[in-house]
Amino acid sequence: MTRIRSKLLSAFSLAASLAYSTNVMAADCTPSKWGAEDEIGSANLITAERVIAASKLVKQGKAHPLGIVIDPKMPAYPPRSMHLEVVQPGQQHGKSLEGAVAWPMIYNDDMAQLWFGIGPQLDGLGHMGEAGYFYNCNHTDDISDFSGLKKLGIHTVPPLVGRGVLIDMAKHFGVTSLEKGQGFSSQDIKAAADKQGVRIQEGDVVLFHTGWTDAKMNAEPDLWVSGEPGLTNEAGAFLASLNVMAVGSDTWGLGAVPPIPGDKFGYDHISLMKENGIFVLETMNTGGLAKEGVKEFLFVLGQPRVKGAVQMLVNPIALY
Amino acid sequence: MTRIRSKLLSAFSLAASLAYSTNVMAADCTPSKWGAEDEIGSANLITAERVIAASKLVKQGKAHPLGIVIDPKMPAYPPRSMHLEVVQPGQQHGKSLEGAVAWPMIYNDDMAQLWFGIGPQLDGLGHMGEAGYFYNCNHTDDISDFSGLKKLGIHTVPPLVGRGVLIDMAKHFGVTSLEKGQGFSSQDIKAAADKQGVRIQEGDVVLFHTGWTDAKMNAEPDLWVSGEPGLTNEAGAFLASLNVMAVGSDTWGLGAVPPIPGDKFGYDHISLMKENGIFVLETMNTGGLAKEGVKEFLFVLGQPRVKGAVQMLVNPIALY
Amino acid sequence: MTRIRSKLLSAFSLAASLAYSTNVMAADCTPSKWGAEDEIGSANLITAERVIAASKLVKQGKAHPLGIVIDPKMPAYPPRSMHLEVVQPGQQHGKSLEGAVAWPMIYNDDMAQLWFGIGPQLDGLGHMGEAGYFYNCNHTDDISDFSGLKKLGIHTVPPLVGRGVLIDMAKHFGVTSLEKGQGFSSQDIKAAADKQGVRIQEGDVVLFHTGWTDAKMNAEPDLWVSGEPGLTNEAGAFLASLNVMAVGSDTWGLGAVPPIPGDKFGYDHISLMKENGIFVLETMNTGGLAKEGVKEFLFVLGQPRVKGAVQMLVNPIALY
Amino acid sequence: MTRIRSKLLSAFSLAASLAYSTNVMAADCTPSKWGAEDEIGSANLITAERVIAASKLVKQGKAHPLGIVIDPKMPAYPPRSMHLEVVQPGQQHGKSLEGAVAWPMIYNDDMAQLWFGIGPQLDGLGHMGEAGYFYNCNHTDDISDFSGLKKLGIHTVPPLVGRGVLIDMAKHFGVTSLEKGQGFSSQDIKAAADKQGVRIQEGDVVLFHTGWTDAKMNAEPDLWVSGEPGLTNEAGAFLASLNVMAVGSDTWGLGAVPPIPGDKFGYDHISLMKENGIFVLETMNTGGLAKEGVKEFLFVLGQPRVKGAVQMLVNPIALY
């Protein structure tokens, strides 16, 4: 019997918006440096100069897909799942379309029931928050509508284009893959970057190769989803302080899980997304670039712009 | 009671594969010039030289999203539809995650029930065929599995990167939007290209601006889906003869609907996809480029690589 | 990145259960008269004597479906919706199953994406609550799991079998259909029951015919879902005091919407379900019985027992 | 690009209907004895006398659910599956509805993505056919619409009410459960019925207890779905010859799988459904009745009447 409720709720949502408009300066949130209305966060760092400069990183003429293949059967804890169906509407049991189109046309179509947070994904700024607030003092009561986010939806994210850098943490630690729960700090990142000749710049997309997904996702799916190596909370804050555009890794959640002693689970997302509007990229396909020793590239991400979606299946392209 | 059937069907599929392996030279299909095993068609045209050359088209440092916003409520004839739900697992009625993570974490997640053929989309080579066959003599009995295409799935498509060109047919005909059912031929395309100073080259992604979606999708959704301006069958064959990588438009189906007298509905897809392995892009967001008079650009498409999917929601990026 | 969270949340849920076990006597909830562990509420009223007595009401040998036809396109406010697809796995484009089963078998199968609260439905005791609590002091933190209710799931409801009575409120007020927002009180119910010769007894399933759905659902779908005639809050409490097994009507929500002055929206559900464990039936197909003047009947409801579901599409049968 | 196609296909469907109207006397199908327009088959056998007589079988006042609990995680071969989500629209992160309804209302709602052929189910007459035809010479081209069957939909089935009889084949063979692939013939059925004092009459719902589901579904799910004991093809034809209303069992598919030597897989469905309009019930919960030695009962089935559905999740009630 939600029918009428939804009408009442709409009215209520409005009331709520008003109510919360007085909260935007609450202690629990920090307004964005890009203004009270800003929804795109670090995408504001994209400039013509940076795009042109990044385009000059295309030297070998290679294009690498940063999205791994999304197998509907890939590991995912409940409740996340994906189902795909290939169907042939109007063509059941050999029914011909020739009567309709005057030639023996056949076609396949497909439908799916899925979560947008499976496999390689872009986390929108409305995905994770703290104490009621998401990026730029947006309160959940105001924006988290059941039928689609009212603000910070994935469709608001402009093309994320810029300089991408890869820091190979596995190589740095001399392993094929870091371990579950192994955290790396700002010192580790700086040491690895220096050794590998990578300089992180403002507006960059910083990707870390830990080896975790290549080593474990298919071989030990239960282990893969039960934890991961990644950023410490301090490393998350450090990267945020560099004003990068996005941070990603070849893990499902970026930060170390379980977190290192004293750290908070998933808090890297808060330092990056909620506090600084920096986008997070997960389950990136970094193995090929690491093997080739690619350090910097033109990063181009065009996510399907589903209105009101929280996150999205993606496949950013690295050009070098 | 499909349970056991599925096992039997698997066995049968194998038998079918063998059976059809003798059919690959059937009159109804032409083997690909890229070999009997080829699944990527015109993506074979991507070369380091072309990628590097295309990267030099980035002059103004601008990035334009070629995917329109996908509103779950956007027009779509049955059976295609999309539903999005923003949910908060484990956080019902204010249940706090603080006990689990030791900080007041909140998060939104999202799930959807959708068709991958809604809005801006990349048609895979397993989408449309003729008389039982898809691209490269792949018979539907062999590849069209209910749970995902066994060949020609969207996940097999590599990053489509190259030179993109825009031909503004609306400008050519001096209108805001071409009309429903208005077809344009190779002569029209050549005339418009010449007048607009565009030279189509091998390996290009050729996009046409008709004005149809900007003018009609929101204003007259029923009209928008009931037909469209587009290629004549002859124009489809002409473009295929130029060995381009992909052809797209700001319409839901590329070809004129209804087709011009003597033409076959949708047959442009056969000339391009089935006969030549050339990809088709639909409901592209060409308006902004047309307004700016952008003629050529670096085209970068990274589609979510869902294993076995027929087509995919996309948002290619035009860099210029 | 919910993967690991779900594990943490499980741990947390346990903690929460313990935490709340101390709350069961909170002022906000009243333990059930059937014991602290009871999940079936008024179904405890089913006795062999009552079932046998009710079976003797079958005199004309007629069976009437109390569930209306559920059209996937029937009115429903967002977010509720339903989609049905009839598919033919393994039979695409005329692919024959004969090779698999040695005879020309064909079959249709069907899938759906739906809400269990569409059309004729049984509300389970975990559907509506107040201030954190559902029936029998079950706190939402303890039972409302995303993947299925941990207690009070629809699968726990035994066959609801007993004496059904129909009170024709439309006839009582001399109209084809009561109006939107028209409430009827215990006095109205008693007057109508007396005039129509109906005596409500303990354990009965009491159905009201208002004429609303027959008159408005198809003719004025927007009006139909925007409100309805029904019980006043006082009438809900009155029916609860009679220890009936279930109360239903030919409306989508049982109570008057908008509520009469001074009443609370939907509070009838609290008096019946939360406070007394009495089941609620919605969008019942009462028209045929009202027309025939059927006053009492054998009521038999077997709902699909989906584990953890909140409510369920149903079609109770009235035998008389 | 199915948009316009769907319009063309509608036109085509009409053409097809006309085309096939000339086929109804084809050798491949037998018109129903209940007339060319009949869609309900053996439900025509329901008479007032039979319903009244069956109601007198309620002697102990007991009600038994013939539908097993449907666990979304229960075994099912691809592509069949089920997902359930319990959600709280408009109540994210503790958002209160009090502003909307003036009292601290909370509610759970649920949505699902499922196949109607999971667990206890009623097969409609449009589920299985032979050589293009379903019951009463309905050709698949005419009735199998992607969005819902145009004829023989589950919503057309009236309340199936009558005398139910249980024949305990496990007891007959002196086992807890029959074996996978073990078929039983008309002789076995007659012998068991005689020994157990059961006389099958016209219009009966005949249920067989094999012990298969109780013994194997949870203990050995892979074995359970890989086969089953059940009717031989000859037994299916025998039961059809008795003019019963429905035949069911505690197995997922009624007939023996794999079939006995010389039998056709699933052909029992053709003898019962296609040739005689007799309904099939699967995965029935017969264990409790078998244990009590219940031989006959009042059978009452009210399936959710989803328009155009092929089959349906059900929970028939046995009253005795």
> How far is residue B214 from each of residues A304, A305, B170, B181, C222, measured CA to CA in Å?
18, 16, 12, 17, 30
CA A37 distance to own-chain centroid? 22
Q: In the predicted model, what is the mean pLDDT of residues D66-89? A: 93
Yes or no, beta carbons of A79 and C146 under 8 Å apart: yes
Evaluate whether A308 touches A152 at the Cβ level (below 8 Å): no
Query: With contacts defined as CB-CB under 8 Å, which chain A residues touch C92?
Result: 86, 88, 91, 108
Terminal Cα distance for chain C, rounded: 56
Nearest to A88, CA basis, from C94, B307, B190: C94
Yes or no, beta carbons of B86 and A144 under 8 Å apart: yes
Yes or no, beta carbons of D113 and A109 under 8 Å apart: no
Query: With contacts defined as CB-CB under 8 Å, which chain D residues touch A93?
Result: 132, 140-141, 144
Q: In C104-143, which ranges are E strands?
A: 105-107, 109-115, 121-123, 128-130, 133-134, 138-139
Which tops the pLDDT comparison, D24 or B88? Answer: B88
Q: Does A109 touch chain D (CB under 8 A)?
A: yes
Indicate the residue of D2, D91, D108 with minimum beta-carbon distance to B117.
D2
| Neighbors of chain D with 3 or more C-beta pairs under 8 Å | A, B, C
Yes or no, beta carbons of B100 and C144 under 8 Å apart: no
What confidence category does residue D19 fall into, taking pLDDT thresholds of 50, 70 and 90?
Answer: very low
Yes or no, beta carbons of D3 and B85 under 8 Å apart: no
Q: Angle CA(C14)–CA(C16)–CA(C21) in degrees, nearest 5? A: 100
Q: In the predicted model, what is the mean pLDDT of residues C4-15? A: 41
DSSP B45-83: G--HHHHHHHHTT--S--EEE-BPPB-TTS---TT--EE
Query: With contacts defined as CB-CB under 8 Å, which chain B residues touch A267?
Result: 103
| Neighbors of chain A with 3 or more C-beta pairs under 8 Å | B, C, D
Q: Does C17 touch chain D (CB under 8 A)?
A: no
Half-sphere exposure of D176 (CA within 13 A, CB side): 4
Q: Does A240 touch chain C (CB under 8 A)?
A: no
pLDDT for B27 equals 60
Evaluate whether A248 touches A204 at the Cβ level (below 8 Å): no
Tokens of D245: 């209303």
pLDDT for C27 equals 60
Mean pLDDT rounded to a whole number for chain C: 93
Spatial separation of the C-alpha atoms in residues A172 and C145, rounded to whole Å? 42
Indicate the residue of B15, B81, B92 with minimum beta-carbon distance to C144.
B92
Which tops the pLDDT comparison, D5 or B115? Answer: B115
Spatial separation of the C-alpha atoms in residues C112 and D309, rounded to whole Å? 9
Q: Does C17 touch chain B (CB under 8 A)?
A: no
Tally of CB atoms within 10 A around D115: 22
Among C111, C116, C135, the strongest candidate for a mutation testing the D interface, having the largest count of D CBs within 10 A, is: C111
Q: State pLDDT tens for residues C88-127.
A: 999 999 999 999 999 999 999 999 999 999 999 999 999 9
Q: In the predicted model, what is the mean pLDDT of residues B71-77? A: 88
Q: Does C8 touch chain B (CB under 8 A)?
A: yes
> How far is residue D277 from each of residues C106, D61, D120, D225, measured CA to CA in Å?
16, 32, 20, 26
* Chain D: closest CA distance from residue A161 (Å): 30
Evaluate whether C271 touches C114 at the Cβ level (below 8 Å): no
CA of C307: which chain D residue's CA is closest? Answer: D71
Q: State pLDDT tens for residues D114-133.
A: 999 999 999 999 999 999 99
Q: Does A22 touch chain C (CB under 8 A)?
A: no
Q: In the predicted model, what is the mean pLDDT of residues D308-315? A: 98
pLDDT for A241 equals 98
What confidence category does residue C302 fall into, taking pLDDT thresholds of 50, 70 and 90?
Answer: very high
pLDDT for A27 equals 60
Yes or no, beta carbons of D9 and A141 under 8 Å apart: no
Evaluate whether A320 touches A161 at the Cβ level (below 8 Å): no
Yes or no, beta carbons of B65 and A159 under 8 Å apart: yes
Per-residue pLDDT of chain A (320 residues; tens, 9 = 90+): 443 444 434 433 433 333 444 344 456 799 999 999 999 999 999 999 999 999 999 999 999 999 999 999 999 877 899 999 999 999 999 999 999 999 999 999 999 999 999 999 999 999 999 999 999 999 999 999 999 999 999 999 999 999 999 999 999 999 999 999 999 999 999 999 999 999 999 999 999 999 999 999 999 999 999 999 999 999 999 999 999 999 999 999 999 999 999 999 999 999 999 999 999 999 999 999 999 999 999 999 999 999 999 999 999 999 99
* Chain B: closest CA distance from residue C242 (Å): 32
Spatial separation of the C-alpha atoms in residues C203 and B107, rounded to whole Å? 45
Q: In the predicted model, what is the mean pLDDT of residues B229-236? A: 98
pLDDT for B23 equals 42
pLDDT for A76 equals 81
Query: With contacts defined as CB-CB under 8 Å, which chain A residues touch B144?
Result: 86, 88, 108
pLDDT for B141 equals 97
Q: Where is average pLDDT lowest: A150-164, B5-19, C64-78?
A: B5-19
CA of D122: which chain B residue's CA is closest? Answer: B1
Q: In the predicted model, what is the mean pLDDT of residues C210-230? A: 97
Yes or no, beta carbons of C97 and B5 under 8 Å apart: yes
pLDDT for C77 equals 72
Q: Does C93 touch chain B (CB under 8 A)?
A: yes
pLDDT for A19 equals 40
Which tops the pLDDT comparison, C108 or B2? Answer: C108
Evaluate whether C232 touches C266 at the Cβ level (below 8 Å): no
pLDDT for C184 equals 98
pLDDT for B293 equals 98
Q: Where is average pLDDT lowest: B264-278, C4-18, C59-73, D169-183?
A: C4-18
pTM here?
A: 0.93
DSSP A102-157: SS-EEE-EEEEEEETTSSSEEE-TTSEEETTEEGGGEEHHHH--TTS-SSS-GGGP
Nearest to D257, CA basis, from D312, D175, D178, D310: D178
CA A204 distance to own-chain centroid? 15
pLDDT exceeding 90 applies to what percent of chain C?
89
Query: With contacts defined as CB-CB under 8 Å, which chain A residues touch C212?
Result: none
